[in-house]
A and B are shown apart, each in its own frame.
Chain A
Amino acid sequence: MVRLVRNLVLQSSLALFVVGTLTFVLTKALPGDMGYRIAAGRYGHDMVDTAAAELVRQELGLGQSSISAYFHWLMDLLQWNLGESMVSGAPITDILKHEFGSTLTLALAAIAIAAIVGPTLGVLVAFTRSRTVDRLSVALSVATRSIPSYVIGIVLIVVFAIWLDVLPAAGCGEPINYVLPALTLALPLITVSVRITSASLKDVMEQDYFEFSRLKGLGWCQSLLRHGMRNMSIPVIAYHGVQLVYLVEGLVIVETLFAWPGIGHSMAHAIFARDIPMIQGTCMTLALSFILLNTLLDILYRWVDPRERKS
């Protein structure tokens, strides 16, 4: 456990440094004058001229060298001061606190849907032993994985908000607003999870210990619960750990599509406005969340697999 916490702290510190540095360097490398871009973000394109850009440059000290600005940022980071948004002027930590809740609840809703629906359907697919169902699940997983979440989102809006008129197309604030964006994020996870679960369960069902449990007189469900579930879960948990990166990536698209006020959405806007502290803040938060969720999965993995605990 101590090693796990130590790894978590090390990974997080490294991620903060690398992600923060990379976003700083990449944003500085983007074409265009930052003074104009930030002025456009603040006051709108129609109000931007050389005077407004100059005011922004002076106020934010954009004239200082990149190295000096970078070291300022690094020193501030060591004091856990992420700075202020160049566009709104609000402290980044305040914005992130406000927006991270929306992102986290949406991501957790998506993970919960995927974690419940995916393995359950996977067990059913394995249980039916039907080649047609199996092929259908392959086709669905290939389709949802290859279609961008943006398209999946639009299809879901058309079906549930326009054709069936049962769910809101976009917006936030009500529990019902979670359904479509969470489903958009969860759908690719579910379909691939069905494949992993069914393949894993089929594998387990062919094992001697499973056959033996059946010979002992246990029913299929009892065998599954006592001997199959835990063994089957190992690759499923490992798969979900890998998929988290898709979830983080999907958040940026899905939040923008569904007008969801989260950090993925803010990141996209911050990139257009060259709001460096905001880009750094959102990227670092997403990176930290990814590490934290992966650590949680590691813990779960160890709990499920006794061999891991021993090693």
Chain B
Amino acid sequence: MGSQPALSHQRTLVAVAPWEIKGIDPAKSGIIFQRMEIVETLTSVDHDGNLIPCLAESWSTSEDGLTWTFAIRKGARYHDKSKVTPQNVADSLNISLGKPGMLRKMPIKSIRAEGDNVIFELSEACAMLASGVAHYTACILAPAAYDNNGDVIRLIATGPFEVTRFELPQKIKLRAFRDYWGSVSQIRTAEYLAVARNETRALMAQSGDADIIFTLDPVTLQRLKRFHRIRVSTTPLPRTIVIKMNCTHTGMNTPELRKALSKGFDRKGIALTVMREEQSAAQQLFPPALGIWHLDSLEQPDPTVGSYKSLMMKQGWKENSEGYLEKDGSLLEFTMTTYSDRPELPVCATALQDQMRKMGIKLNIAVSNSSAIPQGHNEGTLEMGLMARNYGLISDPLGSILMDYAPEGGDWGAMNWNSPVMQKSLAAIQKTTTPEKYAEHVKTVCTILHDEMPTIPVVSYVHSAAYANDIVGFSLDSLERSYRISEMRWDH
């Protein structure tokens, strides 16, 4: 079993997480392959969220922002010992471009090899390209990994770990890749095991059957802290629970009303009782892990339920005997659609229901599945949605912002809201080449999103893990890109 003493070169590190392996194609399960450090991308992200070279040693962009040049790392090898060349990197990226993934979300005209470089030609400037190619769907596989149709038949990549055995859908066995271009991992063998149930993962942590257990609910984490052979680690994630609103609906149709509504929420209460982490309370969409996208100047005000009520009363609404606002015989009533795919969402919705009752709003909750929100958005029937949005798909949330806050709105963003000033800034960001200008535009975008509140952030998630106390060098990636096993070692 995992925690029993063994020689360091013999002991296998067992990492347990809830996600099953759906296949060996990175378009489907690349997120697991990236986290287990099997696959790599042109660029990567360091512990502070900065973009760093990976299979590309450096990169540059033309003045018009339409041509990006990535210099491919010399001396890198695939797990089958073949050399990484610009041509096979370009081929791999072109195959990924034909599948759903991050590359398809960017205006890429062509990807080709030229000398020691891989060149991206774009149809329009795209500042997030360098962070976009760090996404797992843009990982680089060896030519032998594909069949003639471009389907992945073997997972041959370049990461610090190579696959020794797949046992789909639950297990991957790995060993350290000795010809890795960087430092060879001191953990010689590792195993990924998908365990869907939180209870089972917790019991595996207690029994020592697993060395690192990811994604545990807050109550379990509190309990595991009591065991001497387990350590617990948490870090805020750029995944935020957000209220999406139809911004033309009565009671939500002005920035003042939406801000007053936001002020009425007791976020700390929800953070403590639902997420069990006070630091989860989210006054803005982006947590500090997203660097310049986080506004430092914002404070956490105490909830004030009266301001929303008084604004509505100025519009002729009156409080009825039950405390709800009423006008011409109609109640101020919304339906909030949410989904149980993330079990905390319905609980969070009921907390908001109670808090909105104090503001005079009758909130009905419709618990469905996650498709109900984009469907309601596209049909125009959605009044209010409560959803969990991941802004850390890549290190730069620009891609999510462009999709969510487009002039016509977005499935997981604004509905019937548009800000020409923000669109101007978003267009300018795309063409910006200097970090200072980029940060300036980002600040404008974030300030508008906070001032006009087309969506209201409520709480953010916390990434959690329990790990055996004889692991040295454990750290959590707040972007959930990597489990960083190659940076760890055994303490004996």
Where the two chains meet, the residues of A that have a C-beta atom closer than 8 Å to any C-beta of B are 31-33, 35-37, 39-50, 52-53, 55, 87-90, 98, 154, 157-158, 161-162, 165, 168-173, 256-259, 261, 265-266, 269
Contact = CB atoms under 8 A, between A and B. Distances in A.
A35 B100 CA distance: 14
Given A49-B412, A256-B196, A32 B209 contact: no
Contact of A157 (B100, B207, B342, B370): B207
Contact of B197 (A40, A52, A161, A257): A257
A50 B374 contact: yes
A212 to B, nearest CB: 55
A52 B207 contact: no
Nearest to A273: B22
B204 interface: yes
Interface of B: 1, 19-20, 22-23, 27-28, 31, 100-101, 137, 167-171, 193-197, 199-200, 203-204, 206-209, 341-342, 368-372, 374-375, 378, 388, 390, 393, 403, 410-412
A169 B206 CA distance: 9
Contacts of A161: 203, 206-207, 209
Given A43-B27, A55-B100, A170-B203, A259 B22 contact: no
A46 B195 contact: no
Contact of B1 (A32, A39, A55, A168): A168
B13 to A, nearest CB: 14
Contact of A173 (B171, B196, B209): B171
Given A50-B374, A169-B200, 13 more contacts: A33-B371, A49-B412, A55-B100, A161-B203, A165-B208, A170-B195, A170-B203, A170-B204, A171-B209, A172-B167, A256-B196, A257-B197, A257-B199
Contact of B370 (A45, A89, A170, A261): A45
A259 B193 contact: yes
A50 B170 contact: no
A33 B194 CA distance: 27
B411 A154 contact: no
A256 B369 CA distance: 21
Contacts of A256: 196-197
B167 A88 contact: no
B371 A259 contact: no
A254 B208 CA distance: 20
Given A49-B403, A50-B411, A162-B206, A258 B200 contact: yes
A239 B193 CA distance: 37
A41 B370 CA distance: 11
Nearest to B170: A261
Contacts of A261: 167-171
Given A165-B208, A168-B207, A173 B167 contact: yes
Contacts of B171: 172-173, 261
Contacts of B23: 88-90
B28 A158 contact: no
A189 B103 CA distance: 54
Nearest to A44: B31
A110 B412 CA distance: 47
B86 to A, nearest CB: 28
Contacts of A89: 23
Contact of B203 (A35, A46, A169): A169
Given A168-B209, A170-B204, A36 B368 contact: no
Nearest to A158: B203
A149 B393 CA distance: 38
A93 to B, nearest CB: 15
Contact of B390 (A46, A53, A154): A46
Contacts of B204: 169-171
B372 A32 contact: yes
A36 B387 CA distance: 15
Contact of A88 (B28, B199, B368): B28
Contacts of B368: 31-32
A259 B194 contact: yes
Nearest to A164: B207
Contacts of B208: 165
A42 B22 contact: yes
Given A33-B375, A43-B28, A169 B209 contact: yes
A31 B369 CA distance: 8
Contacts of B207: 157, 161-162, 165, 168-169
A32 B170 CA distance: 27
